[in-house]
């Protein structure tokens, strides 16, 4: 499977590329092709050090969309609208949103758009045939970075296209010890996204690191 990561040079994108490249063809997207190539070279070098074989290349964000069967939008919430206005070709693609609209004052809080959630905003901005699915919203970027570090988390998945959701859940279940759970239609995405400021506040006020969730 080909997985394009828009903003694949960031904390989440780079870590996901490391985890996915041994099993899939990963296209790290960026606004800057040189930056994307440099991150993909680092990813390949890191895997090589671990005697793993991977497939990862760097391209511009538009090529990551065009090439990917699945496209992950690994960009900060505040740049979602401007980025999606510049990109085309999402028709019939599965689009994964790990995006959380979070703001910070004396604590982290959920600050969703009028649509109800970042995922619903993304669905509105994309063509109707794009299949938007939320996933990976509640896993800290730090935890993705070392493939030797087991990811023993649950991943809540929302989406309106059952086949797309099933495909994303299958993908999730191949990564480390992640376990996917169906969290309902896309209009439930706000519940999943809003867990993240809770996790950040728990970490901050209890001197914890990279707090995650597991449903048992």
Ligand X SMILES: NC(=O)c1ccc[n+]([C@@H]2O[C@H](COP(=O)([O-])OP(=O)(O)OC[C@H]3O[C@@H](n4cnc5c(N)ncnc54)[C@H](OP(=O)(O)O)[C@@H]3O)[C@@H](O)[C@H]2O)c1
Exactly one of 3, 17, 18, 30 binds ligand X (CB under 6 A); that residue is 30
Task: Indicate whether 31 belongs to the interface with ligand X (CB under 6 A).
Answer: yes
Exactly one of 35, 124, 145, 187 binds ligand X (CB under 6 A); that residue is 35
Spatial CA neighbour of 64 closest among 43, 89, 92: 89
Q: In the numeric block, which tokens belong to residue 19?
A: 């985890």
Question: What's the rounded Cα separation, in Å, for the pair 165 and 82?
Answer: 26
Task: Indicate whether 10 belongs to the interface with ligand X (CB under 6 A).
Answer: yes
DSSP secondary structure, 23-61, as one string = TSEEEEEESSHHHHHHHHHHHHHHHHHTT---EEEEEEH
Task: Indicate whether 184 belongs to the interface with ligand X (CB under 6 A).
Answer: no
Task: Indicate whether 9 belongs to the interface with ligand X (CB under 6 A).
Answer: yes
Spatial CA neighbour of 94 closest among 74, 117, 68: 68
Q: What is the 3-state secondary structure (H, E, C) of 67-95?
A: HCCEEEECCCHHHHHHHHHHCCCCCCCEE
- Give the side-chain half-sphere CA count within 13 A for 74: 31
Task: Indicate whether 12 belongs to the interface with ligand X (CB under 6 A).
Answer: yes
Task: Indicate whether 213 belongs to the interface with ligand X (CB under 6 A).
Answer: no
Binding mask 43-82 for ligand X (x = CB under 6 A): -------------------------------xxxx-x--x
Q: Which is nearer to ligand X, 12 or 121 (CB)?
A: 12
CA angle (87 as vertex; 81, 89 as ends), nearest 5: 125
Q: Which is nearer to ligand X, 136 or 163 (CB)?
A: 136
Q: Which is nearer to ligand X, 9 or 120 (CB)?
A: 9
Binding mask 81-110 for ligand X (x = CB under 6 A): -xx--------------xxx----------
Q: DSSP class of residue 163?
A: H
Per CB under 6 A, residues contacting ligand X are 7, 9-13, 30-32, 35, 74-77, 79, 82-83, 98-100, 137, 139-141, 196
């Amino acid at each position: 499977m080909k997985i394009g990561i828009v903003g694949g040079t960031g904390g989440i994108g780079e870590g996901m590329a490391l985890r996915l490249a041994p099993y899939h063809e990963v296209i790290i997207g960026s606004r800057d092709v040189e930056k994307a190539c440099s991150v993909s070279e680092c990813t390949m070098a890191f895997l090589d050090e671990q005697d793993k074989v991977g497939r990862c290349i760097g391209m511009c964000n538009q090529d990551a969309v065009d090439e990917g069967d699945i496209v992950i939008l690994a960009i900060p919430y505040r740049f979602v609208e401007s980025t999606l206005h510049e990109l085309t070709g999402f028709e019939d693609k599965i689009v994964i949103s790990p995006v959380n609209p979070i703001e910070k004052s004396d604590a982290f809080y959920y600050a969703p758009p009028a649509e109800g959630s970042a995922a619903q905003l993304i669905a509105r901005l994309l063509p109707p045939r794009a299949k938007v699915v939320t996933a990976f919203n509640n896993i800290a970027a730090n935890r993705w970075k070392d493939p030797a570090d087991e990811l023993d988390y649950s991943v809540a998945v929302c989406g309106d296209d059952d086949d797309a959701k099933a495909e994303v859940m299958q993908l999730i279940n191949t990564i480390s010890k992640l376990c996917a759970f169906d969290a309902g239609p896309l209009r439930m995405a706000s519940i999943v996204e809003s867990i993240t400021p809770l996790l950040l506040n728990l970490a901050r006020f209890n001197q914890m690191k990279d707090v995650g969730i597991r449903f048992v």
